Structures are given as C-alpha cells and as structure tokens.
Structure 1
Amino acid sequence: MTVLSVRGLTVRFRMRESAPVRAVTDVSFDLAAGECLALVGESGCGKSVLASALLGLLPGNAETTGSALLAGAGDDPATDLITADEATLARTVRGRRVGLVPQSPAAHLTPVRTVRAHLTETVRRLTGTRGRDALRTATEAAARVSFPAGHLDRHPHELSGGLAQRAATALALVGDAPLLLADEPTTGLDRDLVERTVDELRRHTGSTRALLMITHDLAAAARIADRVAVMYAGRLVEIADAAAFFGTPGPRHPYARGLLDALPERAFRPVPGRPPELAALPEGCAFAARCAHADTACSAQPPLTGGLACHHPHTAPTDLVHPPQAAEAPRA
C-alpha cells in the first residue's frame, strides 16, 4: 500500500528584488506503508520546505506545482495535499492523517499552556477521548518519548530544547496518523535519547502507516531507515536502500558519498565548497562546482533515473565500509 505518492513537486518563492528562490524542483518519490524514508542533505537544500508544502504551511509568496497524493483512510478519500484547500487540510489532514514533528517545536507550542494541557487537548480533539481517559492517554503519550512526568505541568518557556522536542514528538504521535513527518526530530537530544526517540518513531510505522524523517543525523537514519533520499539544491540526487547506502556498495552520487565522508566515524572530511544560492542555481548540475569528477557533460542537468541523478556516478565498491555505529533498531 502506498501512503504517499509525490510527483513533480516544485516550490518557488517570489521575491520583490531578486530572482525567484527555487527551493524544491521536480521532486518525485513514493512512500509505502511500513516504510521509513530518511530525507538527508545540508541545511538550505529544501528538505523542510518540502515538508511544509505537504502540509500546506508555506508562506503567501510560495508557488507550488506538482502533486502529493495521500492515500485515503477510513471514510476519507485520497487527497492531493498540494491542491487541497485550507479547510480540508485543517479539518481532515493535519494531525489526523498527517502528523508533524516540527523543526522548531517551541514555535508550535502555545506559551500559556502546559505540556499536559497540550497533550490532553490533542487527545480530545483527535480521538474524542474525555475526562480521566484523556489524561491517562496524554501521560502515556509523554512516556512513549521519555518525556519526564515531573515536567508535564511546565510551560514551553520552562523547557530545554530537548524537552520541547520530546513534547512535540509526543503530540505528533497522539493521532496515529497514517503519515508521520518528522523534521529534525532529534535536535537537542543526547545520543541515548536520539536512539529512543527514533525507535519510537519507527514503531509508528505499520500496515497502514509510514514515516518520512528529515534529518542531518545520518546515524539516526542508518538506525531506522529503509531507504535514504539525498537532496541537494532543491533536487533529489539519489534514492537508495539504506543497507546499501550505509554499507556496501555505498552511495553512488559524489555528494552523497561526501556526506558520509564528513562523519567522524568515517574520513571526517567535509564536502569542499558551499552549496549554491537557490536564487542563482546553475543550469546544469548544481553540485558540479564542488565535484572532483565534473566535466563538460555536467553543464546539462542530469535526470533522476534509477534512483540517481549524476553524469559520473561511483561504480566501484566504497572504501567506507563501516556504517555509522548504531545498535540494531526494532522493526515494526
């Protein structure tokens, strides 16, 4: 069962005094029930814009084209998240059919309400549970992400960044939405909590549920992902099975290999150069200026074919044979 099918998703931001910002360009992928897809890439490559587009949360100067078909659930028909109106998204999609772990949780929490109040109201709204049952379910949701019970009656400004992140994760899990979008869900967490949090997100997947995790944490992706999608300058440049990506033969795109090379467990060598400005992208391969293999062929944009967009992919087995260290995660 396909939970989400994205085709040709493109997002442009109109700017008054400069060229449009090409934040996302022609992105296509499918996400199946029971699957975790990790979307990785440097800051500013368009990952969070893609998530916001799926939820209809882009600012007014955004122009979005393409489609993102969310499978129907119960009495709800399949919905194109890109063309759906705000009323549909607010009433039937957000929280109920698509859960969000936001990148900046403090901005999504009401400052005058405690964490317990946030969770209890979300339980009531999404499940219809009332009274003591709602309070118990709220407490259980907090426990799922290791949020300490002694902090449930604190307000958002009284929480550390890590606690705010765990509160937001608990809120996203309440509705058991078919699609869970987790945008940097491990920000501010120590390694033990990173592993416990992503394991809980992984447990969310099942026969009708899937997880799209946007992350810089490649060790977390290696721990729970089934597939990895690498984004660069607004485009997908590689989609691969996680086992092959983090092990042997490794990534095929030079940029994806560079991301792994930058890890302390690997070569600890950063990708040279800087990403291009999204308002001034080259006509050809956007990575060419940073790539040791670039030549005249790279003046043309390579299409994403067979999960790869590159004129000069790596074909030899990688010499980076040790994946990020992570214990085996439970699988749904």
Structure 2
Amino acid sequence: MRGGRHIAAVTGAGFDLAAGECLALVGESGCGKSVLASALLGLLPGNAQTAGTATIDGPEGAIDLLTADERTLARTVRGRRIGLVPQSPAAHLTPVRTVRAQLEETLRELAGTRKADLRRAAQAAAERASFPLGLLDHHPHELSGGQAQRAATALALIGDAPLLLADEPTTGLDRDLVDRTADELRRHADDGRALLLITHDLAAAERIADRVAVMYAGRIVELATAGRFFGTPGPRHPYARGLLAALPERDFAPIPGLPPELGALPDGCAFAARCDRATEACGAVPRFADGVACHHSEEPARA
C-alpha cells in the first residue's frame, strides 16, 4: 500500500525451481523482480500484503514462505534454506565491522567452522567470490560498489543454502568479474542447489541460466528454456523479443515508450501501449498459457 492506495507490485507469478537449476528472472527496472525476492524472504515492508503460496522443500519438511512467522524465517530460512545476494549490498553489510569479521561470524553461524580455522576459511570464502584478500580488513565504507557486491556474494555463498536468490549480483562489476561471478553462481547450482538469478544483464543470464522468466509490470509474461529464449526460435512475447533486440550485439533498438506505473496499470495487456502488434483483443488481460501471456504470441513476428 502506498499513500492509501493498494498497488499490486507482483500479480500471479507462478514458477517452480528444481535443485541443480538456474532460473533467470529478467525485465526492466521497476517491474517487480526484487519485490518478489523480498516476499520469498519475508523482507517486505510491514504494510505489504501477500497471497498465495511459496513453498520450499527440505529434509525437515516444507515451509510456506508467505505464511511463515518471523521466528521461522530468521532461524530456519534466511541463510540456511535461502541465501541472498542483495541488490544493495551496502544496506546488508554491517558498517562498523570489517569484511573479515563478517565472513568469520557467518562461517561460525552457518558452516560451524572452528575458531582455529576461521581465518583460512574466510580467505577461501573471499576468493570464491573474487573479493580481494587485501581488503578483508576494510570496513564497508572503504569499498567500492563492486567490491561491496563481491563481499555480499561471499557472505551469501557461505551457507551453501539449497536455494540462492541473487538479486542483480553483477551490478558494478566489469565484464570479466561479471563472468567470474556468474560462473561461481552457476557452480552453486551445479552442486545440486537451486539458483534464482534476478537480473537485467541478459548476457549473464544467457551464460548460466537453464530457463528464463520475463516479468513486465508485475506479471510474468513468458517462461521458456534458455536455449529457446536466446536461440531458435526465440522469445514469443513481443516484450521479450524487444529486450533481446535492445542488446548492443543484436539490433541495439530500444523498446519505445516507458513501462506503466504499477499503481496505474492500464486495463488489459500492460504492454499494449508499447507494442506494434496490439489490437482490440489486447483490451483484455491475456491469460498465461503454454509459457506465455500474449494474445498474439502465435502470430509470426514482424520484421
């Protein structure tokens, strides 16, 4: 709720994610990707409301993340069943403690590392996320944005949680570090864990994702295998095709117009005002079926 109005930040988002799999959730800024991640961890503002189910399985039984109480989320879920690489690492790093101290504390709590082994284990955790060992004794305010991002990634990987939520994990990194970070996240999945990669970096998604979910104006409008999405025959939703066409290595053609405000969504298809294939049928909200939500997904793409 904002200013006395109800805003549907995410509506009807449904997907599954298996162990050993990476699902990339992509879309323009403000489409609801990070809100979805916050909902799964119980980190939404106090006036937010959720409905539906979001179940995570585990050896101790399944937990519905949307109805779990704070005690369960804090002691059983966060860091243990679900790890988080945050979009804003500065807000998740303790400002008065060095990176080394935060790594060692997390190693004690989540990995049960013995005191005698903490220094070596902290260095190994830093190297895993390509964090410079020479900066381990620095405080967060002494780090660049990219360095803080790698510190947060190192902390998130320590617990080897069955599910890792990586929210824009490559922000502030150069291309080489983007690739190294993406590859390390992929190894997390290859070791039998699940990875939800929330990103606007389609190159990183193409590098490591098994499937791609495209979000627009709070809704998932396409869900496809990465091979189909990035290769042949390509995306079926006009918005998804537009995202790929905007890449410099492709057409470098931006999608015209701007996405709608989540608090003032139009009737019908939210993408219709920006779509060159819109018709009167788009006055109704398209039903998500067979992996896509579009009235014209089966029509041949225009040149």
TM over 0.5: yes
What residue is the counterpart of 1:189 in the other structure?
173
The amino acid that maps onto 2:230 is F
Tell me, in whole angstroms, the C-alpha distance in 1 between the residues paired with 2:112 and 2:302: 52
Counterpart among 26, 29, 33 of residue 19 in structure 2: 33
Aligned to 1:16: 3
| Contact 1:46 1:233 (C-alpha < 8 Å) held by counterparts | yes
> Could you give the per-residue CA deviations for residues 53-110 of structure 1, whole angstroms, max 9, x where no partner exists?
000000011010011100113xx21100000000000001000110000000011001
Residue 45 of structure 1, CA deviation? 0.2
Question: Which position in structure 1 is the counterpart of 2:237?
Answer: 253
Matched, 1:61 2:47: yes
| 1:15 maps to amino acid | R
Cα distance in 2 for partners of 1:208, 1:220 equals 20
Structure 1 residue 127 corresponds to structure 2 residue 111: yes
Shift of 1:206: 3.8
Rounded Cα–Cα distance in structure 2 between residues aligned with 1:192 and 1:207: 23
Q: What does residue 167 of structure 1 align with?
A: 151
> How far off its partner does 1:318 sit?
9.0
Could you tell me which residue of structure 2 aligns to residue 322 of structure 1?
none
Where 2:51 maps in the other structure, the secondary structure is: strand
1:268 equivalent among 230, 252, 269: 252
Aligned to 1:10: none
Contact persistence 1:253–1:314 (CA under 8 A): no
Which blocks of at least 5 consecutive residues in structure 1 are unaligned? 1-13, 320-332
Instruction: Answer yes or no: is the 8 Å Cα contact 1:254–1:314 preserved in 2.
Output: no
Match of 1:229 in 2: 213
Aligned positions of 1:3-152 closer than 5 A:
14-17=1-4, 19-73=5-59, 76-152=60-136
In structure 2, relative to structure 1, the CA distance for the partners of 1:83 and 1:107 (3 Å cut) is same
C-alpha RMSD over aligned residues = 1.3
Evaluate the alpha carbon distance shift between residue 190 and residue 196 of structure 1 in structure 2; reply closer, same or farther with a 3 A threshold.
same
- Flag the structure with higher strand content: 1
Whole-angstrom distance in 2 between the partners of 1:206 and 1:261: 30
Distance (Å, rounded) in 2 between the aligned partners of 1:58 and 1:65: 13
Which one of 291, 298, 316 corresponds to residue 282 of structure 2? 298
Whichever residue aligns with residue 16 of structure 1, its letter is G
What SS is found at the alignment partner of 1:238? strand
Q: State the alpha-carbon separation in 2 of the partners of residues 318 and 195 from structure 1.
A: 33
Shift of 1:135: 2.1
Q: Partner of 1:24: helix, strand, or coil?
A: coil
The alpha-carbon deviation at position 316 of structure 1 amounts to 4.0
Per-residue Cα deviation, 1:167-203 (whole angstroms, up to 9, x for no partner)? 0000000000000000000000000000000000000
**Structure 2: tracts of 5 or more residues without a match:** none
What's the secondary structure of 2:107's corresponding residue? Answer: helix
* TM-fit CA distance, 1:212: 0.1
More deviation, 182-191/122-131: 122-131
Distance 1:268 1:123, change over 3 A: same
Partner residue in 1 for 2:261: 277
By how many angstroms is 1:146 displaced? 1.0
Corresponding residue pairs, total: 303
Does the residue aligned with 1:66 lie in a helix, a strand or coil? coil
Percentage of identical aligned residues:
73
Counterpart CA distance in 1 for 2:25 and 2:153 is 18
